[in-house]
Amino acid sequence: MGRVAIWIACVLLLAVTCQGKGAPGHRVRVGYYNRKCPAAEIIVRAVVGKAVSRNPGLGAGIIRMAFHDCFVQGCDASVLLDPTPANPRPEKLGPPNFPSLRGFEVIDAAKAVLERVCPRVVSCADVIAFAARDSAFFLSSSRIDYKMPAGRFDGSVSLESEALQFLPPPFFNLTQLVDSFKAKNMNEDDLVVLSGAHTIGVSHCSSFTDRLPPNPSDMNPGLTRLLQSKCPVSPNFTNDPTVAQDIVTPNRMDNKYYTNLIKRNVLFTSDAALLTSGKTATKVMENAFIPGSWEKKFAKAMVKMAAIELKTAANGEIRRNCRVVNK
């Protein structure tokens, strides 16, 4: 990653080739910025690569951010909006996002470079989509790599209540999970595949203490003892440690999540739920034991998710600052 600074310096020289200051159209397509801002994807990948090399957890946070953004108001960067007097409780302050969601500073850094090179051209929503893809690329040692269509608009509505309404919590059962995905035109295969993102990153103890004694669960006793040694009996806002979601390869994106799941070495009720039906259990087995299968399906599911409820010119914009709507 020593070349990152050189990459950024080089792409800054491409500023003279950036075309215009207009907003992207509402039809997303691969290579959308080839003429408008040819350095766009290079810039985002360089910034993400530098961040992930310092802290792999930031990459996990950005992948989670993409999911949390797209399931609420569509893929429109609404999750990035800061509180204002007019809207004191945006999505990012909702319990599903605060204080656990990470990576905002990486999006800010990428957007800052883009605004110097191609002002008012690249949407924050596209930055999230590119950054999630690039996080997966680096965390998987390039095994997950795919083309991401672009041309999204940024939204202006961001409500804590909608984060609670649309983001499936870790205690959901399979029926609830399937329904929440179906509401976003995502199917059971997408659910099982995207759950595999739990192969990276950490979780607060409060997200899974419902599966620790004295509560009944089918968690592997060895993992139960490990978690009990790290988590307080009653986590609260001031005492809520984090633990790795994947105890085998915590900093690498791979299919170990599925072998962990089969061995009952997973944290959440929503993870364990994937084995409660024959259909989803079969998909778990495929992802666990067919080499390369999960990585290909994950790439496809991420592209599908990144097309949820996109904004158009009528209800979107290209934010200059990802944290605030344009004036």
Domain span at 217? 174-305
168 carries a ligand binding annotation: yes
What is the rounded average pLDDT for all residues in the chain?
Answer: 92
254 carries a ligand binding annotation: yes
Asked if residue 134 is part of any domain, the answer here is yes
78 carries a ligand binding annotation: yes
- Say if CB 8 and CB 45 are below 8 A apart: no
Flag whether pLDDT at 21 surpasses 90: no
224 carries a ligand binding annotation: no
Same domain, 154 and 239: no
Domain count of the fold of the chain:
2
In Å, how far from its chain's centre is CA 63?
A: 2
- Residue range 219-233: mean pLDDT, rounded: 97
Residue 317, pLDDT score: 97
Same domain, 161 and 221: no
- Residue range 92-101: mean pLDDT, rounded: 95
- DSSP letter at 185? T
Give catalytic status of residue 26 as yes or no: no
Asked if residue 19 is part of any domain, the answer here is no
Residue 98, pLDDT score: 95
Q: Report the share of the chain in percent with pLDDT over 90.
A: 91
The last residue of one of the domains, among 124, 152, 167, is: 167
Token pair of 284 as six digits: 């778990």
Q: What is the pLDDT of residues 248-272, one digit of tens each?
A: 999 999 999 999 999 999 999 999 9
Q: What is the pLDDT of residues 6-20, one digit of tens each?
A: 444 444 444 333 333
H/E run at residue 317: none
User: How many Å apart are CA 92 and CA 245, to the nearest integer?
Assistant: 22
The last residue of one of the domains, among 114, 141, 167, is: 167
**CB atoms < 10 A from the CB of 1, how many?**
13
- Confidence tier at 89 by pLDDT (50, 70, 90): very high
Same domain, 287 and 187: yes
Residue 243, pLDDT score: 97
249 carries a ligand binding annotation: yes
Residue 2, pLDDT score: 46
209 carries a ligand binding annotation: no
Q: In the beta sheet, which residues pair with residue 154?
A: 317
Q: What is the pLDDT of residues 50-76, one digit of tens each?
A: 999 999 999 999 999 999 999 999 999
User: How many Å apart are CA 310 and CA 256, to the nearest integer?
Assistant: 32
Catalytic-role residue among 45, 64, 68, 211: 68
Q: What is the pLDDT of residues 142-193, one digit of tens each?
A: 999 999 999 999 999 999 999 999 999 999 999 999 999 999 999 999 999 9
**CB atoms < 10 A from the CB of 77, how many?**
29
Residue ranges of the alpha helices (H) in 13-159? 33-36, 40-54, 56-70, 104-117, 124-139
H/E run at residue 204: strand 202-204
- Say if CB 74 and CB 128 are below 8 A apart: no
CATH of the domain at 292: 1.10.420.10
Same domain, 152 and 191: no
198 carries a ligand binding annotation: yes
Same domain, 162 and 45: yes
Same domain, 298 and 179: yes
- Residue range 280-298: mean pLDDT, rounded: 97
Q: What is the pLDDT of residues 104-116, one digit of tens each?
A: 999 999 999 999 9
- Confidence tier at 27 by pLDDT (50, 70, 90): confident
Residue 327, pLDDT score: 86
Same domain, 227 and 155: no
Asked if residue 14 is part of any domain, the answer here is no
- Confidence tier at 26 by pLDDT (50, 70, 90): low
179 carries a ligand binding annotation: no
* Nearest residue to 78 (alpha-carbon basis) of 59, 95, 61, 65: 65
Flag whether pLDDT at 238 surpasses 90: yes
